[in-house]
Amino acid sequence: MSARSRQADGPHTALAARLRDMTRLRRPVWVFDIDRAQVCWGNPACLELWQASTLDDLMSRDMGADMTETVANRLRQYQADFSRDEQCQFTEVWTLYPNGVPCTMDVVFSGIRLDDGRMAMFCEADAREAYDADALRSAEALLHTSVMITLFTANGLPLYRNPAARSSVESADETLGEHFANSATLQRLEQASEDEINLIAPVHSKRGQCWHDITARRCLDAVTGEHAWLISEVDVSRLKATEERAQFLAEHDTLTNLPNRNHVSTAFQHRIDRHLAAGESGALVFIDLDHFKDINDTLGHDAGDLLLIEVASRLKSVIRECDTVARLGGDEFLLMISPLSTRITVLEIVNRIRRVTAKPMELQERDIAVTPSIGISLFPENGRNINDLLRHADLAMYHAKDTGRNDFAFFSQHLSDAVESRISLEAELTVALGDEQFVTHFQPRVDVQTNAITGAEALVRWQHPTKGMVSPATFIPACESSGLIAQLGKVVFRDSVRAQRDWAAKGHVLRVSVNLSPLQFSEDSLVEELVDIVREEDGNIDGIELEITESVLLGHDESTIDKLNALVALGFRVAIDDFGTGYSNLAYLNRYPLRCLKIDRSFIQSLDSARPIVELIVSMAKLFELDVVAEGVETQAQLEALRAYNCQEYQGFLFEKAIDFDAFTALLSRHEVKRCA
């Protein structure tokens, strides 16, 4: 048979015979073998469209060679839909590229069975006189974008899905209600008063349940003019999983995987509120292991960590399913026993705790036994607030220690003597502020790679007239509870400005970091007061870094952002102190004007178990272009590990403890100083 006759009549197949009447159609028609990405039949108008000299020429072309993955996916979607319903059709604007030349057509696609039974695609093309350029580009964008776009009727029936949307669902007929994994999502859309709604919600997909960032807009269908929903979606499942993991790390202890203090302060309060609203009671059980420090000192921190892990496991084994055990830090654990009908339940659990913790455990081929000191507070009898209840349980625990350890005690009125002692301490602190008994010491911040001094952190000490130098651990909590911390913070800030100024005058230009307590940060006049102090002392704002804790950022309120932006605009740097022990939400690292993260010393002291967290913090800081400082570095091994992680700075006893101004000045003259940028 000649090429001319084959061009006119097509190949001698049953398929060609079925299509013989279409040979004389003026519009291009052809059959496309989706599996092989080849044309397997076409009429003369089709040859002209595809710029083919003969049908053999057209049929020999490998259409898949230059086909994008998006187009291939779209064709497979068509094939699946045709196999399910051979009567369905699709009409779309397609830009074809015969011999590399773009040619835009309105194409009607329908299914057709090949002689071997496979599903192919029958294509009918119709060219308009002109196509709007923006419309063409819009059609191409809809075809190739990874954003899932779907048009639904007002009742949720699908009208159109772009390839990305079609590939994400099991069925092209899936309704809007069927798409959402939670019926509340559809209710929220239907009840919304605004025309455009944005939300993140779980949806059904071919991969199972996913999380999508969804924008839903009320519109009119361009074909019928009836009300419709235009839904665009982006898969954020990985981001959601990352946030959930970060949230888990923020609320759980990295060593034992128990809830941590941050979880206690929020979730426990919610539980207390629910129980009280229901007329129920409960108990907080504060557990401190006796002489735990001796185990760390004799067997090492690794053995101590193993003991804590075992104790955590044993505590979980003796509580009820409705109760919760948390690790507050160090060797301190907290149980919430709720609901509670009688004290007998508490006593039964406490006795079980004493039995299981006293049972010897093998550490480094030695049998080690520990005993607990336990304090108990009851709600609502001893309070309705988690902080009050925790403090009362803590007081009861210390009473148990005072009576010989390995004991328990309920909080009672006679323990208020401890509160009186605190009040007495607060009175002494007020006098100390007036008599200028507080002195500011400075601990060097050091470059991890070069060991050059890069800055200093200001740390307050109490020079008591009779007790000598008092540790901050003794008076800082009392200052915070009494509200004196803000006044004390200003004293330290003024000393820091003076120190930075005087060192700069001697040629040592370095940055001094000053802690701001949450109470101090919350003051409306904070910005003005800090600026006034710098001006009064003829200081340099650029040389001062303000350290805040993660708790300051918990509220995510606009006033916090405004205050931080105001401080940064004036020239202060802002750092997060004790990073990783609080909220640790990745979002705020990008939302707030931060410049530095200080890794909490607890991670450095347990570097083996906390290694993934430290590496994550350093990597995260690099991602957000933040400086990283490791606190509490005490050994050369810890420093070498930080070098391997590419941590930038450190501070700790390995280099120098906190020292007074004169001693620090002398230190600067003996060591290399790296000028602050």
What is the CATH code of the structural domain delimited by 145-235? Answer: 3.30.450.20
Among candidates 368, 297, 304, which has minimal Cα distance to 330? 304
| pLDDT value at residue 129 | 58
Q: Which of 434, 334, 447, 345 is nearest to 392 (CA)?
A: 334
Residue type for 586, please?
A: L
Both tokens assigned to 107: 């194409």
Map out the domains of the chain as residue ranges: 3-130, 145-235, 251-411, 442-459+483-670
**d(C-alpha 241, C-alpha 327), whole Å:** 24
| Domain 251-411 classification at class level | alpha beta
pLDDT in tens, 429-456: 889 898 999 999 999 999 999 999 999 9
Distance CA 336, CA 341 (A): 14
In this predicted structure, what is the pLDDT of residue 7? 39
Rounded distance, CA 482 to CA 473, Å? Answer: 15
Distance CA 665, CA 673 (A): 11
Helix (H) or strand (E) run with residue 269 in it: helix 269-277
What CA–CA distance (Å, rounded) separates 445 from 429? 29
- The answer to whether the CB of 344 falls within 8 A of the CB of 276 is no
Locus of tokens 């709600």: 379
Would you identify the CATH topology of the domain 442-459+483-670? TIM Barrel (3.20.20)
Q: Is the pLDDT of residue 2 over 50?
A: no
Instruction: Kindly state the tokens that stand for 435.
Output: 């008599």
* One-letter amino acid for residue 548 of the chain: I
Reply yes or no on whether the pLDDT at 5 is more than 60: no
> Above 90 in pLDDT, residue 508?
yes
- DSSP per residue over 408-474, as a string? EEE--GGGHHHHHHHHHHHHHHHHHHHTT-EEEEEEEEEETTT--EEEEEEEEEEEETTTEEEPHHH
pLDDT single digits (tens) 113-132: 998 889 999 999 987 656 66
**The dihedral sign for the CA sequence 141, 144, 147, 150:** positive
**pTM score, two decimals?**
0.45
3-130 folds as Beta-Lactamase (3.30.450)
Q: Do domains 3-130 and 251-411 have the same CATH topology?
A: no
Strands 627-631 and 89-96 come out as: unpaired
Those residues whose C-beta lies under 8 Å from the C-beta of residue 70, and which sit 6 or more positions away, are 143, 144, 163
531/497 Cα distance (integer angstroms): 11
**Calpha distance 461→469 (Å, rounded):** 7
pLDDT band at 586 (very low <50, low <70, confident <90, very high): low
The number of beta carbons lying within 10 Å of the beta carbon of residue 271 is 17
β strands within 12-84, DSSP E: 29-33, 38-42
Which residues in 448-541 belong to E strands, given as ranges? 453-464, 468-470, 511-515
**Each residue's pLDDT tens digit, 59-102:** 999 988 888 777 888 888 888 888 888 888 877 778 888 887 88
